[in-house]
A and B are shown apart, each in its own frame.
Chain A
Amino acid sequence: MRSALNLAHNDENIGTADDPTLLKQAMVRVAEVQDRESFQFLFSYFAPRVKAVLLKAGSNESQAEDLMQDVMMTVWRKAKLYAPDRGSVNAWVFTVARNARIDLLRRASSRPYDDVYEIEMESDVASGEDEMFATERAERVSEALSELPEEQRQIIELGFIEDMSQSEIAEKLGLPLGTVKSRMRLAYGKMKSKLEAVR
């Protein structure tokens, strides 16, 4: 996480998000004491990113602004459901935005995702993984992604950020569907081998 936090509406310098633990701490304070200053920190960090993702997924300016508000509201309301030992704050906010995309832009239901998350929260499989371990996994994922060849990175980005389906990606890039799939698998494979080193 290299980008410095830009607090446009606050002279007070809360710090940069160079350290993912700052995001985690802010989430914990929002969850435990409903701390609005910590929420402002999260809002400044995530709102422009969430809005960017929603714009890329096809919503217009005002729709993206409204949906971003909904996503950030969900981040506030569901703050207690975030489990630091299961993953990064980034990944969790991404899933909140993804679910909003499914519910509101696609008018489908993200409930199966919530159910899986609930099972995840209840299962004790991850209990051996402490927070440090989760942080390290997130770092490995970042590392693997930044080392991907452009042709694989592009496909991952189109899928996760531009909200394009496999077949839309194939069409856009003029590639057979099978090639898109195999590049996805290659990209994921690299990530897996990095993660296996952590296990």
Chain B
Amino acid sequence: MTTQHHLDDATLLRYASGDLDSAFTMVVAAHLAMCDKCRKAARDAEEIGGHMMDHVAQAPVSDDAFERMMARLDSGADEQIEVDLPKKSAPDSDVPLPLRALIGDHMDDVRWRLVAPGVRKYEIQQGKKGESSLYMLNISPGMAVPEHGHGGAEMTLILSGAYRDKLGVFGPGDVADLDEDIEHQPIVEPGEACICLVATEAPTRFKDLIVRLMQPFVRI
């Protein structure tokens, strides 16, 4: 599988620094699970963190800090984690490892809810109180991917199948990490349903207001 559409550089830095919220972290992690190139880039971005921490103005630690540490080790809290951990999940899993904690090992087990003809949705995390939401979509061939953003940032990872928009074809592993002002209308390619993982930023108040004002005129 050759991934064609990758993460934005700014997103890689935000992932490495820990700035993304849980919904976006999950989409990025699932992409990294599928994309060797971005995983390598993320490692390089983590080197930035290493360098910055190396050059930070150091904060003196308490005089007995190391003794405290040793006492913890002596109390039996020192057991080291072995590298050859048993594999976390089924080897026949078709779900990227980070996502398995949320949806299980098999795509077939996802309990889809029909939200429109040809469009099924599975809500993973509902955006409450300004949090981003995370969900999966399962869209039939030839159907348009519904507009799901409400003016906030959005990131879509293709898990299986493919869609096409003016930016090209997005297949398994491809991520649409687009600026919020890019307008596009993806259509699912013929043949197979397209399953994707989507993170959507909660709309800011201002955007919310605009959306509400526009609602009578455009269907969102």
Contact = CB atoms under 8 A, between A and B. Distances in A.
Contacts of B106: none
A11 to B, nearest CB: 14
Nearest to A120: B39
Contact of A138 (B12, B30, B50): B50
A65 B61 contact: yes
Contacts of A79: 80
Interface of A is mostly: helix
A88 B47 contact: yes
Interface residues of A, number: 82
Contacts of A31: 80
A101 B68 contact: no
Given A98-B49, A101-B18, A137-B44, A43 B69 contact: yes
Interface in B61-83: 61-63, 65-66, 68-70, 72-73, 77-83
A161 B49 CA distance: 8
Contacts of A51: 58-59, 61
Contacts of A187: 13
Nearest to B68: A69
A95 B70 CA distance: 23
B17 to A, nearest CB: 4
B49 A95 contact: yes
Interface residues of B, number: 64
A160 B63 CA distance: 27
A80 B69 contact: no
A47 B79 contact: no
A65 B62 contact: yes
Given A111-B101, A112-B25, A48 B60 contact: yes
B92 interface: no
B213 interface: no
Given A90-B53, A115-B29, A141 B48 contact: yes
Contacts of B12: 188
B170 to A, nearest CB: 21
B46 A161 contact: no
A131 interface: no
A123 interface: yes
A87 B56 contact: no
B80 A116 contact: no
Interface in B2-46: 8-10, 12-14, 16-19, 21-22, 25-26, 28-30, 32-33, 36, 39-46
A102 B16 CA distance: 12
Contacts of B58: 48-49, 51-52
A147 interface: no
A108 to B, nearest CB: 5
Given A65-B62, A87-B43, A119-B97, A161 B32 contact: no
B205 interface: no
A157 B59 CA distance: 16
Interface of A: 1, 3, 9, 31, 34, 36, 40, 43-44, 47-53, 55-56, 64-65, 68-69, 72-73, 76-81, 86-95, 97-99, 101-102, 108-109, 111-113, 115-116, 118-121, 123, 125-126, 137-138, 141-142, 145, 156-157, 159-161, 163-166, 181, 184-185, 187-189, 191-192, 195
Interface of B: 8-10, 12-14, 16-19, 21-22, 25-26, 28-30, 32-33, 36, 39-63, 65-66, 68-70, 72-73, 77-83, 85, 88, 97-98, 101
User: Nearest 8 A-B pairs (CB), nearest first?
Assistant: A91-B50, A90-B50, A112-B29, A48-B58, A94-B49, A52-B59, A141-B47, A115-B98
10 contacts: A48-B61, A80-B81, A90-B47, A90-B51, A91-B50, A111-B101, A119-B39, A119-B97, A188-B13, A188-B45
